Structure 1
Amino acid sequence: MPTVKFQGKTINCESGANLRRVLLANKLDLYNGNSRYINCRGIGSCGTCAVEIIGEVSEANWKDRVRRSLPPHSPDRNRRLACQTKVLGDIEVIKYDGFWGQGEQAK
Structure 2
Amino acid sequence: MPTVRFRGREFDCVHGAVLRDVLLAGGESPHNGASEVANCRGLGSCGTCAVEVSGPVSDRTRRERLRLRVPPHDPDAGLRLACQTRVLGDVTVEKHDGFWGQHVSAGRDD
**One-letter amino acid of the structure 1 residue matched with residue 106 of structure 2:** Q
Query: Which residue in 2 is equivalent to 1:65?
Result: 65
How many pairs are equivalent?
A: 106
Unaligned runs of 5+ in 1: none
How far the C-alpha of 1:96 sits from its partner, in A, is 0.2
**One-letter amino acid of the structure 2 residue matched with residue 88 of structure 1:** L
Query: Which residue in 1 is equivalent to 2:106?
Result: 105
Tell me the TM-score normalized by structure 2.
0.94
How far the C-alpha of 1:82 sits from its partner, in A, is 0.2
For the aligned residue pairs, the C-alpha RMSD in angstroms reads 0.7
How far the C-alpha of 1:29 sits from its partner, in A, is 2.8
After superposition, give the CA deviation of every residue in 1:26-80 in whole Å (9 maximum; x if it has no partner): 1113210000010000000000000000000000010110000000001110100
Query: Which residue in 2 is equivalent to 1:78?
Result: 78
Query: Which residue in 2 is equivalent to 1:32?
Result: 32
The answer to whether residue 44 in structure 2 is matched with residue 5 in structure 1 is: no
1:86 aligned counterpart, secondary structure: coil
2:76 aligned counterpart, secondary structure: coil
Runs of 4+, deviation exceeding 2 Å: none
Counterparts in 2 of 1:35-46, with a 5 A limit?
A: 35-46=35-46
Unaligned runs of 5+ in 2: none
Greater share of strand residues, 1 or 2? 1
